[in-house]
Amino acid sequence: MFAKPQKEHQWLGQLLGDWTFEHNCQMPDGSHTNTPGTMTCRSLGGLWLICESSGTSADGDTWSSIMTLGFDPHQEQYVGTFIGSMMANIWPYQGVLDESGKRLPLESQGPKFDGSGVGKYRDTIEIVDADTWLFLSELQSDDGQWVQFMTGKHCRKTN
C-alpha cells in the first residue's frame, strides 16, 4: 500500500529548492544574535519534505540541522521533526494550515531555555511569495502568552 501525495503535500512543494537565510534571535535573557545560513529542501517521494540547513554561529561555531515535514491524512495534520547539531533533543512537530493557506504553525515541546523543565514551542512557516518565506519561533510563557524569540527570512537562491 503506497500513499499518494495530496494537496497538503503539494503545499510543502513551495519550499523545494535552495535558500539563503538570516535568523535573528532575541533570547529571553536579552542576548541577540544574527545567524546567516543556507538551506536545501528536497522531496522524498512527494510525501515528505527534507530540509537541510547549515551556518556559522556568532561565536564562529558551525552548525547543521534537518527538518522533516509531511502530512498525515489519518491525523489530518502536518507532522515532522527538527534536529540540530547544537542540541541533544528532537523536536516533534504537528500543525494545521491557518485559514489564509499561507501560514503553517507547527507546535512542539522541548527543554525550556532556563533548564527548568519542558516548555511549549511553536515554529511557523509563512509563505510570502514564490521566492521568499519566513520562519518564526515562539515559546509559551508561564502565563500562557506566546513570545516570539526568532525570525528568519529565507530567499530562494538564484543561478
Give the phi and the psi of residue 114 in degrees, each rounded to 5.
-85, 5
Spatial separation of the C-alpha atoms in residues 147 and 125, rounded to whole Å? 16
Which pLDDT score, from 0 to 100, does residue 129 have? 97
Taking the mean position of all CA atoms in its chain, how far away is CA 53?
11
Say if residues 95 and 105 touch (Cβ distance below 8 Å).
Answer: yes
Model confidence pLDDT, tens digit, residues 41-74: 999 999 999 999 999 887 888 999 999 999 999 9
Q: Could you tell me the residue range of the domain that residue 117 belongs to? A: 7-156
Nearest to 49 by CA among 19, 23, 24: 19
Confirm whether 62 is domain-assigned: yes
147, β-bridge pairs = 139
In this structure, what are the phi and psi dihedrals at residue 3, rounded to the nearest 5 degrees? -70, 150
pLDDT band, residue 115 (cuts 50/70/90) = confident
pTM: 0.93
Report the SS3 class of residue 41: strand
- pLDDT value of position 123: 97
1, part of any domain: no
Split into its structural domains, the chain has a count of: 1
Whether residue 68 contacts residue 78, with contact meaning beta carbons closer than 8 Å, is answered with no
Would residue 60 count as lying in a domain?
Answer: yes
Q: Whole-number mean pLDDT of the chain?
A: 94
Is 68 part of a structural domain of the chain?
A: yes
Is 2 domain-assigned? Answer: no
Residue 93 belongs to some domain of the structure: yes
The CATH number of residue 88's host domain is 2.40.128.20
